[in-house]
Amino acid sequence: MKIICLLDMDYFFAACEELRKPELKEKSIAVVTDTSREGSKGVIMTCNYNARKFGIRSGMPASIGLNLCKELLLIKEDFKFYEEKSHEVFEIVRSFSSKVEQVSVDEAYIDISDKVSSYEEALSYAKHIKETITSKTKLPCSIGVSVNKLMAKMACDAAKPNGLKLVKQEEAKEFLSKLPVSKLYGVGEKTKERLEAMNIKTVGELASTNKMLLMEHLGNSMGLELYNYANGIDESEVITEYETKSIGRERTLKKDTTNEEDVIPIIKELSKEVIEEAKKEEYLFKIITVKMRYNDFSDHLKSKTIKPSNNIEDLQKIAIELFKRYINKEKPLRKVGVRISGLSKSTKQKGLGMFMR
Ligand code: TTP
Ligand code: MG
């Protein structure tokens, strides 16, 4: 049976600040960035749950946060420290499974399918992961456990903060159906408005909408994807970047953008660099992965497996296809990457190896 966990640290940057100054736990605190701009108090990256009670949220200007809560304490971000803590957390996670896909500084999918053979075992394995993280790092986290990535993510969101939740296959549709559409993974503000214009307010309503109608209104790929998600269906695999040797290139964009056309030449360029390196070592590749990092520092990795190839046109075509299909047009993109894995030596090389043995 397939069992996936989604681990997400609770109020991560703010929790890291509480870790080094425990007295902050009693206060309402927010971690801010961009404080250097003149006249600005910065933008809130995250805040602790005391501050959330006042309606303070990520992405809010700090001045608005202060209007909502006069006692709000603003702390300038210290990425280096958060990255160190993140590293500690994922070292622990990787000791529980080699199939880990880290999707942001504080979030990872963990495939534990080959560690457990029942839901009960899955829940206690996840509990063990959660307790080990908390006891070793003293940082709070939540874990969702379910049968695919989407359901694990939805379970984790429901469990937050400091929670652990299992959603079994047979509970998935019922669990999703009552949620407002905005809670469904993949539904941003614009999509929510489009769905509401179609009179779809809950995930249950979305799940029972005609698939073709959704594809007509939202575009084929998004319509189909959201229809599947609403029905608890997600066949994507946990993509392990660290498992096998791979060759990759990433680039931070000169300016964050929501325009795909700006990014396509960069994907072509990165693909070219990747192929050049692969050719030097006479590698063929089988798996192509595109990484999209948004300006909120979340990462999305999407992969496709093909027959072994070392062809630049194959790589460019598929990388662009993946990018166009999965780019979230609602969030400015900050960085893009192209990676090949599933590497093998070309037959010429293999032959030589055999001869030398
Ligand atoms: P999240 O996991 O989205 O948020 P969180 O960990 O602060 O809170 P929780 O998971 O309990 O809801 O993001 C992880 C970190 O990424 C967060 O601590 C700060 C940073 N971040 C931003 O810088 N900007 C953003 O808009 C968001 C959402 C997060
Ligand atoms: Mg988090």
Q: Residue 12: what are its φ and ψ, rounded to 5°?
A: -55, -60
User: Is any atom of ligand 1 closer than 6 Å to the C-beta of 8?
Assistant: yes
Biggest alpha carbon distance in the chain? 76
Decide: 45 in ligand 1 pocket, CB within 6 A: yes
298 lines ligand 1 (CB under 6 A): no
pLDDT level of residue 91 (50, 70, 90 thresholds): very high
12 CA to centre of ligand 1 in angstroms? 6
Query: Which of 6, 45, 105, 154 has most ligand 1 atoms within 8 Å of its beta carbon, as the pocket-test mutant?
Result: 45
- Which one of the ligands is nearest to 10 CA? 1
222 touches ligand 1 (CB under 6 Å): no
Distance CA 67, CA 50 (A): 15
Domains of the chain plus CATH, in order, are: 4-9+80-171 (3.30.70.270), 13-79 (3.40.1170.60), 173-230 (1.10.150.20), 246-345 (3.30.1490.100)
Q: What is the DSSP string of 287-340?
A: EEEEEEEETTS-EEEEEEEEEEE--HHHHHHHHHHHHHHH--TTS-EEEEEEEE
Q: Give me ligand 2 centre to Cα 328, in Å.
A: 19
Residue-level pLDDT at 346:
60
- Coil, helix or strand at residue 198: coil
Q: What is the pLDDT of residues 268-277, one digit of tens each?
A: 999 999 999 9
> Which atom from ligand 1 is nearest to the alpha carbon of 10?
11
* Amino acid letter for position 131: E
Average the pLDDT over 44-73 and give the result.
96
What confidence tens digit (pLDDT) does each residue in 143-192 have?
Answer: 999 999 999 999 999 999 999 999 999 999 999 999 999 999 999 989 99
For residue 163, give the H/E element and its range.
none
The rounded mean pLDDT for the chain is 92
Q: Under a CB-based contact definition with an 8 Å cutoff, are residues 146 and 152 in contact?
A: yes
Q: Is the dihedral of CA 349, 309, 264, 259 positive or negative?
A: negative
Task: Tell how far the Cα of 11 is from the centroid of ligand 1, in angstroms.
Answer: 6
**Dihedral, CA of residue 109, residue 112, residue 118 and residue 119, to nearest 10:** -20
Q: How far is the CA of 10 from the centre of ligand 2 (A)?
A: 5
Q: What angle do CA 346, 347, 350 make, to 5 degrees?
A: 95
Residues with CB under 5 A from ligand 2 (ion): 8-9, 12, 106
**pLDDT at residue 182, as a whole number:** 96
Taking the C-alpha atoms of residue 350 and residue 270, their distance in angstroms, rounded to an integer, is 27
Task: Give φ, ψ of 291 to 5 degrees.
Answer: -115, 130
More confident residue, 301 or 27: 27
Please indicate whether residue 83, judged by its CB atom, sits closer than 6 Å to ligand 1. Answer: no
Contact 109, 65 (CB under 8 A): no
Which pLDDT score is estimated for 344?
Answer: 79
**Which residue, judged by its Cα, is nearest atom 22 of ligand 1?**
45
